[in-house]
Structure 1
Amino acid sequence: MSSTTEHYEKLLTKYLDGQCNAAETAELYSWLQASGSHRALLKTMQQEFQNAFNTQQEIPVEISDRIETKLLQSITETKPKTKIHTLWYYAAASVAAAIILLLILKQPTPELANKPITVAASITPGTNKAVLTLSNGSTVFLDSAGNQVISQGATTVLQKNGQLQYDSKASSEATVYNTLTVPRGGQFNIILPDGSHVWLNAASSLRYPTSFNGKDRRVDITGQGYFEVAPNAKQPFIVQVNNMEIQVLGTAFDVMAYSDEKSVNTTLIQGAVKVNDKRLLPGQQALMDPATGDITIRNADVEQVIAWKTGFFEFDNARLSDILRQLSRWYDIDINYKQTTNERLLGGRISRSLPLSDILHMLEANGPVFELVGRKLTVK
């Protein structure tokens, strides 16, 4: 972190503690308007406080938590093999400090007012949405607002908001399969017939039986999913990913198997799994080369791996091309970018609830220039 950044980090902390004088307050406000990335942060702060004060005389805990996680989010260049967290967390020290900040943010800001709104401002984050393909081939569209009951023989499927839940009764009928497909710009979660819980990231799919009647519980996944498997020692849970099998008894783990990524990653959060014939310990990650089938085991940053599930992008020594692939899936955009061999390494933690324009401003502060036409993003 640069000395300049450290200075403003300390200044912001001092401000939120109500200890800034008028000159320091003016300095901080000028810095927040100094660049595109700072302006994006300022806008986010202003929206959070404005929403709070439009409806509340006091800031409740849940609002202050949102302010804390969104107050300053940035992407900065990192050094190879160096772990740098560039999201600064600050909570408003008191309601009085928050009121002071709100009053400052509400002052007229010609630079912001005259800045044209880019096309990117209209591209919003992903939402809860998916398509359920039933055993007879018919499809049901799902979103965060839908509530419905779907019957398939002895199986009842309940959709409630952004979740799908199965209630299967013992049946001698032949095993049938459903597929839950999440498009780009979406996410969804499902409770399987055995009680196992699966969260699917954008551009992912899960194929599974409507009841687990065999010697094991077997599902197939593409894309990325986070699993919390219901324990059942007599009926192992198996996740099939291309030519790789993940064998589970009861555990929590993440699988990332996008076709445009260089490896299929299985990260164990708790419990135990075997990836083909290799056993993982909590905090370890198996990387399989799709071309050769070779598997490498390494220690993982678990928080970074499952950041998507908790509502964040998190990068550590990531190339711009790596970041753009994630943005492409979550914001449903196409990327036109010629990757170079000397790409900068970037780090940061950013809320997935931000509009695309805010994230592009942060990235542009580190060098790249973007042009967005429709849903096609070109890196110049």
Structure 2
Amino acid sequence: MKEAFEIARLIRKSLRGELSGQEEKILSDWRQASRDNEAAFQEMTSGSFYTDGTELWETFDFRVAYGRFLQRKFQQCRSRRLLFRVARVAAVVLPLTIAIVLYIGLGKESVPATNYAAAATILPGTSKAVLTTGDGNTIMLGQEYSDSTIIADGMRIDASTSGLTYAGISGNSALVYNKLEIPRGGEFCLTLSDGTKVWLNSATSIQYPVAFGTKERRVFVQGEAYFEVAKDAKKPFIVQFMSSAVTVLGTSFNVRAYPEEGHSLTTLAEGSVCITGGDNTISIKPGEQVEVDALSGDMVKREVEVRDFTSWKDGRFVFVRRPLEEIMRTLERWYDIRVVFKDEEAKRISLSGDLRRYDNFSRVVEMLGLTGDARFEIKGNDVYITTE
């Protein structure tokens, strides 16, 4: 149990981004020692673990929690061999579960309470968007509106509750642009006339031709979007944002370009892309990212874990040692809330986490409260954060 408490301490520090170099090595060695250890680590760094952990501390019935863990895992497994493996993993997780819950719980009285009841009224975003056609008409789209077929700008547009698909062919040789805007608290999926798929995050807009020309396929983005570009060797696909542009033939990548953040991030999942900013041009390969300063055009290339920057389209929020100010900007757009930091120190708190995107805000703020030193005060849709 002594080792479990030490690992529990290191995992908690890892989630808060506070590990020293030596502690990182100890935790890494423990994870690599066996597949069971790695599975236990993944279990405990998931968003649901901390909610379960809070309940565990309050009831203090570890046998019930152990039974729930086994039951959940048994339901997911379909073979006898996997069932035995789950039992081994559970044997690793149980003492660490006890240790982490105790480790967090022992200091619980010193952590100010958060009004989770108020947070529970803040719901996650939904599928919604506003389409502006070439003639200036606006059409509301999303879960609140029924599926429909739109005839506009010489194109047939199929609109579902979750996406938009350009299915017809325009006979007009001139480029006619449509614009799709996703509000705060929204998301949407777009399939362009060439078959390219675009996932659009909250507070994002994209302007695009209803049918592409003969030389290139160019779209304009503000906000965050994930692209799966249809291959066409004769017509490069160009995404233009801020003072930068990404040029590809066929690939998958994420662009984050919110003007208020002062920089853009292009993260490559598959294929290859070329990023241009000012007088500079950089090519990247999968697993690499380029950051471009919006004012100077300065570019920085780095290796990253792609999932940390693309998981939003798959229903997760993954933060790895990110400042709380940055995390809350992302949550602010998705939950359509207003975040106010009462002191500068709270902005710099570094946190890590893997959160479910479609959880109510109460689940998210509960995990953030357990893994950091911040206090959350919620009044309506206003969230006040302090370290006091």
Q: Is the 8 A contact 2:153 2:210 kept in 1?
A: no
Equivalent residue runs for 1:231-242 within 5 Å: 231-242=231-242
Superposition pairs of residues 279-358 of structure 1, within 5 angstroms: 279-337=283-341, 338-340=343-345, 343-358=348-363
Whether 1:369 and 2:387 are equivalent positions in the alignment is: no
* Counterpart for residue 364 of structure 2: 359
Does the C-alpha gap of structure 1 residues 345 and 210 become closer, same or farther in structure 2, counting only changes over 3 Å? same
Please state whether the residue corresponding to 2:344 is helix, strand or coil.
coil
How many matched pairs?
304
Deviates more, 1:214-223 or 1:331-340: 331-340
Match of 1:137 in 2: 136
Structure 1 residue runs without a partner (length 5+): 18-28, 53-57, 63-90, 94-114
Q: Which runs of 5+ in 2 are unaligned?
A: 13-35, 41-51, 79-84, 88-113
Q: Map Cα deviations across residues 61-119 of structure 1 (whole Å, 9 max, x no partner).
A: 89xxxxxxxxxxxxxxxxxxxxxxxxxxxx976xxxxxxxxxxxxxxxxxxxxx97621
TM-score, normalising length from structure 2? Answer: 0.70
Structure-1 residue corresponding to 2:122: 123
1:256 aligns with 256
Cα pair distance change 1:293/1:234, threshold 3 Å:
same
Counterpart residue identity of residue 285, structure 1: Q
> Which whole-Å CA distance do the structure 1 matches of 2:260 and 2:366 have between them?
25
Q: Where do residues 18-29 of structure 1 align in structure 2 (5 Å cutoff)? A: none
- Matches of 2:227 and 2:357 in 1, distance apart? 20
What residue is the counterpart of 1:164 in the other structure?
Answer: 164
Helix, strand or coil at the partner of 1:123: coil
Q: Is the 8 A contact 1:206 1:219 kept in 2?
A: yes
CA contact under 8 A between 1:267 and 1:284: conserved in structure 2?
Answer: yes
Contact conserved, 2:134 with 2:153, CA < 8 A, in 1? no
1:3 aligns with 2:6: yes
The 1-side partners of 2:159 and 2:53 are apart by: 49
State the superposition RMSD in angstroms. 3.5
Q: 1:209 to 1:61 in 2, by over 3 A?
A: farther
Quick one: distance in 2 between partners of 1:30 and 1:270?
37
Q: Are the counterparts in 2 of residues 155 and 166 from structure 1 also a CA contact under 8 Å?
A: yes
- Tell me which amino acid in the other structure corresponds to 1:311: G
Q: Which amino acid aligns with 2:55?
A: L
Determine helix, strand or coil for the equivalent of 2:202. Answer: coil
Answer 1 or 2: which has greater helix percent: 2
Alignment of 1:76-115 (within 5 A): none
Q: 2:203 is matched with which residue? A: 203
Q: Which letter does structure 2 place at the counterpart of 1:265?
A: L
Q: Which residue of structure 2 aligns with residue 84 of structure 1?
A: none
Deviation sequence 1:1-58 (CA, Å, 0-9, x none): 962738999xxx99xx9xxxxxxxxxxx9863437xx9xxx99x99xx9xx9xxxxx9
Q: CA deviation at 1:168?
A: 3.0
Q: Give the direction of change, closer, same or farther, for the CA distance of 1:192–1:343 in structure 2 (3 Å limit).
A: same
Contact conserved, 1:168 with 1:210, CA < 8 A, in 2?
A: no
* 1:160-196 CA-partner distances (Å, limit 9, x unpaired): 2301100131413422111111111111111000000
Q: Which whole-Å CA distance do the structure 1 matches of 2:230 and 2:270 have between them?
A: 13
Q: Could you tell me which residue of structure 1 aligns to residue 27 of structure 2?
A: none
1:131-187 deviations in whole A, cap 9, x for unaligned?
A: 111111111111136310000142010012301100131413422111111111111
* Residue 339 of structure 1, CA deviation: 3.0
Q: Which amino acid aligns with 2:379?
A: V
Please name the residue that 1:273 is paired with. 273
Conserved 8 A contact 2:157-2:164: yes
Shift of 1:59: 5.0
TM-score normalised by the chain length of structure 1: 0.72
